[in-house]
Amino acid sequence: MQALFSQLVAGLSLGSVLLLAALGLALTFGQMGVINMAHGEFMMAGAYTAFIIQRGIADAGTSLLLAIPLGFLVGGVMGLILEATLIRRMYHRPLDTLLVTWGVSLILQQAARDIFGAPNVDVRAPGWLSGSIDIGFTQVPAARLFILALAVAAVLGLSLLLKTTPLGRRIRGVVQNRDLAETVGISTRSTDRLTFFIGSGLAGIAGVALTLLGSTGPTLGTSYIVDAFLVVVAGGIGQIKGAVIAAFGLGLLQATFEYSTTANIAKVMVFVVVVVFLQIRPQGIFSIRTRSLA
Amino acid sequence: MSRLRTRKRLLNAAAVLMVVGLLSAGCGSRVGAAGAGGSSSSTCADTSGSSVKIGFLNSLSGTMAISEKTVHDSLVLAAEQINSSGGVLGKQLSIISEDGASEPTIFAEKAGKLISSDCVAAVFGGWTSASRKAMLPVFEGANSLLFYPVQYEGLEASPNIFYTGATTNQQIVPALDYLKQKGVKSLFLVGSDYVFPRTANKEIKAYAKANGIDIKGEEYAPLGHTDFTTIVNKVKGAGAAAVFNTLNGDSNVAFFKEYRNAGLTPGTMPVVSVSIAEEEIGGIGLDNVVDQLTAWNYYQTIDSPKNAAFVQQFKAKYGQNRVTSDPMEAAYTSMFLWKVMVEKAKSFTTNDVRNAADGVSYDAPEGTVTVNGENHHIAKTALIGKVGPDALIHTEWSSGSPVQPDPFLKSYDWAKGLTG
């Protein structure tokens, strides 16, 4: 029983990590259709932002809380630059985008290596996030609870933005039918730019959060990018709730499989489940019906 | 319709990528083959002038760059020191550096290039066992020399490779001896999923069986695995007396953070690691790894005039915040060993150097090391260390005298079934 609960918690916590990593991608890939392989490197940029801030502000708690908005800004601005210089030119060439952004990701990794050095850097967790919290039937590491809360907050913030603000309406409009949106006077250009800014910014936040769990180094992004795409594809293009369900679903699957087999087999089984699922439902868990021809 | 076209284009792109991959693989093997066919008895190394070329082959890019860059740095330091004290046989060393890019196939290709087109007298480098295994046929085919500076899983002895890191009986077996001596009755094995941890754990299990140690569990994580919740849950549930950790690379960071967050401490369940050196402690975070144990043959804190000079010279060249570690020291030592071999042979030729190798000894920062001419490994002292609050590793236990290398574990009864 004890093991069941701790694996349940492990699955939820893994799901929240996946969700944070995939949320920005759900926006840029899911909504805009841009295959951005450099998304992981925006996470890395967020993680290094946390590292730089901690060098300036010694108190780990303050610097972490400060790093979340700043990580968003750093990731977002990098996304804006990438969008304005490269991606803008190839909105109708998805395969070229894949190769170009992959190249960008390699350049960014090497840049990080040149700036911060090849070894991992240490981002200290604040005192109130190390150790475990007893929740009755099992213990949960505080850092993982924090990430769960952060993921929930990010999802809520994003859905509020999409549902209630004029910007959100414009984004949804452009996603559902770009031509029609343009005809009614929405500037698709600036909408694209803002969507990409927010999506990349969310990657920055994910990077800050990941410093609590893993290594902060040039290859941080590559460890998460495949899983992030998996979540978005399984969740279905164009819907945030799809990504949420897919992330927690995959997290729970991985944790369950891993407990009864090994980490490697679990990974394979998760992939098999997703592949079989996509055979049955190629559009993912959710899809939006649209009159657009694209 | 457009979706169908996209899929077709995807297939085309995949085909193009595959062709490019095949072409480059073909080029790699051609370079290697030229090296093998060009000169079967010895390399084309030109030793007539006032300088002699040597090759460095480390990953300066890719996932292994984090570790191999440090080895490269200490090789450069060794070459500079040898040059400023008159070179080898009166000849200055001129360095040709190649980037292995963390890819075994590129290691093989670049090794071929260094041997047959640069005509180097010897090559220093390699880190992962995969890179060494890829380079081995190239060096054997061209009858050239490789000096490999990293501890590894043993079970190998090429006439063209000198292994200056530890083999298993100089690192893992002493670590097990230490644990047994401390009264540890049960172990949990955690490792990355590739050749070194799998082989090492096979040996650990054989040792445990013969010595009455209970193996409570054995878990492997894929290289680059980032989520250790489940594995740490299993470790916690199994209740072993200690954990034997053969994880490699970034996984260590995630593992130790999770280990500490789950409330496990060095006091209740110590972790013995064989792949964490001074370099890695900063990245893992001192708080997460303090008081845990490591097994190596060299620590920066070794108290000897030779090591004090090495550390001081390294810091003077690369910065006061840099640290020295076991593989770096083994690489540094490997070049001086090569120098002594060449000067003993009075020749740079592979066969002469190899014939002179047996018994060559050098007063290294880790202590005196001696080359075993039969298996090309070196006798070195085994050290168990503990991570201190100063982020350095301090010797906790020492084998006292150099341990003779036994890569095939022939001298151990419990290992009879392993090497077959």
More confident residue, B248 or B141: B141
Interface mutation target, options B70, B230, B323, chain A, most CBs of A under 10 Å = B230
Report the complex ipTM: 0.80
Q: Which residues of chain B are within 8 Å of residue A3 when distances are taken between CB atoms?
A: 233, 237
Nearest-Cα residue of chain B relative to residue A255? B230
For residue B61, the SS3 value is: coil
Rg of the Cα atoms in chain B: 22
Average pLDDT estimate for A58-79: 93
Check B282 against A122: CB less than 8 A apart.
Answer: yes
- A247, A22 in Cβ contact below 8 A? yes
Q: What is the pLDDT of residue A279?
A: 92
Nearest-Cα residue of chain A relative to residue B226? A214
Band of pLDDT at residue A119, cut at 50, 70 and 90: confident
Q: What is the pLDDT of residue B13?
A: 52
Nearest-Cα residue of chain B relative to residue A216? B283
Q: What is the pLDDT of residue A2?
A: 72
Nearest-Cα residue of chain B relative to residue A129? B261
User: Could you tell me if A207 lies within 8 Å of chain B, comparing CB atoms?
Assistant: no
Name all contacts of B202-206 with Cβ < 8 Å and 24+ positions apart.
B202/B418, B203/B154, B203/B168, B203/B172, B203/B173, B203/B409, B203/B415, B203/B418, B204/B172, B204/B176, B204/B244, B206/B414, B206/B415, B206/B417, B206/B418
CA B174-B155-B121 angle, to 5 degrees, is 105
Q: What is the pLDDT of residue B41?
A: 46
More confident residue, B315 or A286: B315
Q: What is the pLDDT of residue B216?
A: 95
In the predicted structure, residue A140 carries a pLDDT above the cut 50: yes
Band of pLDDT at residue A290, cut at 50, 70 and 90: low
Band of pLDDT at residue B303, cut at 50, 70 and 90: very high
Give percent above pLDDT 90 in chain A.
48
Which residues have C-beta within 8 Å of that of residue B263, sequence separation ≥ 6?
A131, A132, A139
pLDDT by residue (tens digit) across A215-231? Answer: 888 888 888 998 999 99
Q: Which residues of chain B are within 8 Å of residue A141 when distances are taken between CB atoms?
A: 258, 261-262
Nearest to A219 among B237, B250, B282 (CB): B250
**Strand arrangement, sheet containing B367-371:** B361-364, B367-371, B378-379
Query: Whole-model pTM?
Result: 0.82
Average pLDDT estimate for A145-168: 93
Angle between helices A263-280 and A222-235 (to 10 degrees): 30
pLDDT by residue (tens digit) across A160-217? Answer: 998 999 999 998 888 888 888 889 998 988 998 999 999 999 999 999 999 988 888 8
In the predicted structure, residue A76 carries a pLDDT above the cut 90: yes
In the predicted structure, residue B12 carries a pLDDT above the cut 80: no
The answer to which of A281-290, B2-11, B336-345 has the lowest mean pLDDT is: B2-11
Which residues have C-beta within 8 Å of that of residue A7, sequence separation ≥ 6?
A255, A256, A259, B230, B233
Nearest-Cα residue of chain A relative to residue B222? A264
User: Could you tell me if A41 lies within 8 Å of chain B, comparing CB atoms?
Assistant: no
More confident residue, B174 or B194: B174
Instruction: Answer positive or negative: Cα dihedral of B356, B359, B362, B366.
Output: positive
pLDDT by residue (tens digit) across B371-412? Answer: 999 999 999 999 999 999 999 999 999 999 999 999 999 999
pLDDT by residue (tens digit) across A82-95? Answer: 999 998 888 778 88
More confident residue, B382 or B25: B382
Measured distance CA(B68)–CA(A259) in Å, rounded:
34
For residue B272, the SS3 value is: strand
Check A13 against B229: CB less than 8 A apart.
Answer: yes
In the predicted structure, residue B306 carries a pLDDT above the cut 90: yes
Q: Which residues of chain B are within 8 Å of residue A134 when distances are taken between CB atoms?
A: none
Measured distance CA(B253)–CA(B248) in Å, rounded:
10
- Rounded to a whole number, what is the distance in Å from the CA of A118 to chain B's nearest CA? 5
In the predicted structure, residue B18 carries a pLDDT above the cut 70: no
Q: What is the pLDDT of residue B21?
A: 45
Q: What is the overall mean pLDDT for chain B?
A: 88
CB within 8 Å of chain A, chain B residues 63-82: 63, 65-66, 69
